Chain A
């Protein structure tokens, strides 16, 4: 884990101050009407509704699946039953949640350019950075609400099987949001430079996949150092660049702990405030890139 993610109370305080400053600036400069408009419009996107329905089906489908296993064999132990629900649900939330985050982040700005709504907005006393901030915050509200909804359904599914407070799950949902925030911010940055949602969607998937494969990238770097081949060296160099620039999304995953520990446990060996800062700073970088490309974009 990076040095700046290490446990240090003073660093945590510093990070807290940074987070508060960023949130205050966002709250102050965001045109909330644009954010709420984006939220309302986003909720009507058929793809988003489709993903959400699929995730709900999978979450509740997992309960039926375990029930059927009881009916057919009757030998499945309760902890295995719960573990299966946890495994299916957390995977469903990750996959559908990130697809929603990528799809929404990739489409909000290109869609408004295509249908010329952006013309009527930017001809008013709204600066480009404000417009982008409003769209970005709107996207985050959509992502957060979807995640919350899926989390609540997951909790209900688990509670029915195991009626205890799902503390671990709440932590996992909270950290997953910051993982989605990073993916969303970089997808949004690519979308700000695009005129269609296709390229940013591909870019978002790339960031999500590579961000979850940083350990593999590390091993590519190590192997290239031991190799003499020019191709290996080049691949190693590329892997090194990706390893050191892309966020490590594995930091945000509590899947192993959810599966191995009790659902009412507190996560272990994880600095949540530092991960929050990590997520916010990467998101800020994504937003700055988005603004940088959008500020002189010809519409």
Chain B
């Protein structure tokens, strides 16, 4: 699997009036997006996600480091640009134009003309489900429809890479689901997607790999399975009397659910699975299942960002 987007020690510093006022938006960022995958790019507000995207599109310029797109370091070359589709967050599309007119405008920027442009507009409108609304003025579009038109303009040149900044923000649940399905469909067609988002559940549902950014530093990255599979275990048991449940809790196991003699227990990282099983057996519980516990992306995100915040505060304290 080849790498389509790659950054090496990418750094962006916004200069202030003095050195102390300099803002490090990105600090030696190393990310890779592979061909045919969805890379979820996560981080709280101001963590540097949009800065990374703007750097990749040369809308701003790096202070240090390197970027390659499809192995090409000249990321502004027309060949590279033709292979990138970009959907900015909250983009505006001139509302006096019709859906197909705005696509015609953007298509012309790729040098597309005449029948081939018209054919491509038909195709992308079909892909994003906007064929019926093509002749309507954009001012009459809902937020979801505007987002679809935004996706359509990003798809016009049939690019291999899609860079999407908050593609589902502000959409209702139905529109979110539709956009999500569309993104999976595009991935399945072989396109590579870099999706920046706050919507952790959305990202968890569609991403192959994820990177979590905080204050310009990539805190962690990996496949969804790597990130979400923790070292903790879950134990499900039956025939658990209330007193027994209380005892195992006192012994250090974490009760996640308890009802009608059934309990779900979490084994903390500082306890071995064997110890936990012995505790349950000693309380005459009937073990039904033992499984590695899978975290949610939200839990991973909160843990990673929380840890980054703590370590930063500790550094400040040392100073």
Contacts and interface: CB of A to CB of B under 8 A. Distances in A.
Interface of A: 31, 33-34, 37, 40-41, 44, 115-117, 119-127, 296, 298-299
A121 B93 CA distance: 11
A125 B60 contact: no
B91 A299 contact: no
Contact of A120 (B86, B108, B157): B86
B88 A119 contact: yes
B88 A125 contact: no
Contact of B81 (A124, A296, A298): A124
21 contacts: A33-B105, A33-B108, A41-B94, A44-B96, A116-B88, A116-B90, A117-B91, A119-B86, A119-B91, A120-B86, A120-B106, A121-B106, A121-B109, A123-B57, A123-B86, A124-B109, A124-B157, A125-B81, A125-B109, A125-B111, A298-B60
Interface residues of B, number: 29
A117 B106 CA distance: 11
Given A33-B108, A37-B105, A125-B111, A115 B92 contact: yes
A127 B110 CA distance: 12
Contacts of A37: 94, 105
B106 to A, nearest CB: 7
Contact of A124 (B91, B106, B150): B106
Interface residue SS majority, chain B: loop
A123 B81 contact: yes
The 5 closest A-B pairs by CB, nearest first: A33-B108, A115-B92, A125-B78, A123-B86, A125-B81
A21 B201 CA distance: 58
A140 B43 CA distance: 44
Interface of B: 54, 57-61, 76, 78, 81-82, 84, 86, 88, 90-94, 96, 105-106, 108-111, 150, 153, 157, 163
Contact of B96 (A41, A115, A121, A126): A41
Nearest to A134: B109
Nearest to B150: A120
Given A37-B94, A37-B105, A127-B76, 8 more contacts: A40-B96, A117-B91, A119-B91, A123-B57, A125-B78, A125-B109, A126-B109, A298-B59
A126 B77 CA distance: 10
B318 to A, nearest CB: 34
Nearest to A131: B109
A242 B88 CA distance: 43
Given A125-B110, A298-B60, A116 B78 contact: no
A123 B93 CA distance: 15
Contacts of B58: 122
Contact of B94 (A34, A117, A296): A117
Nearest to B86: A123
Name the residue among A34, A123, A125 with the largest chain B CB count within 10 angstroms.
Answer: A123
Contacts of A31: 108-109
A115 B93 CA distance: 8
Contact of B91 (A44, A116, A127): A116
Nearest to A299: B59
A12 B78 CA distance: 40
A120 to B, nearest CB: 6
Nearest to B79: A125
Nearest to A118: B59
B206 to A, nearest CB: 22
B152 to A, nearest CB: 12
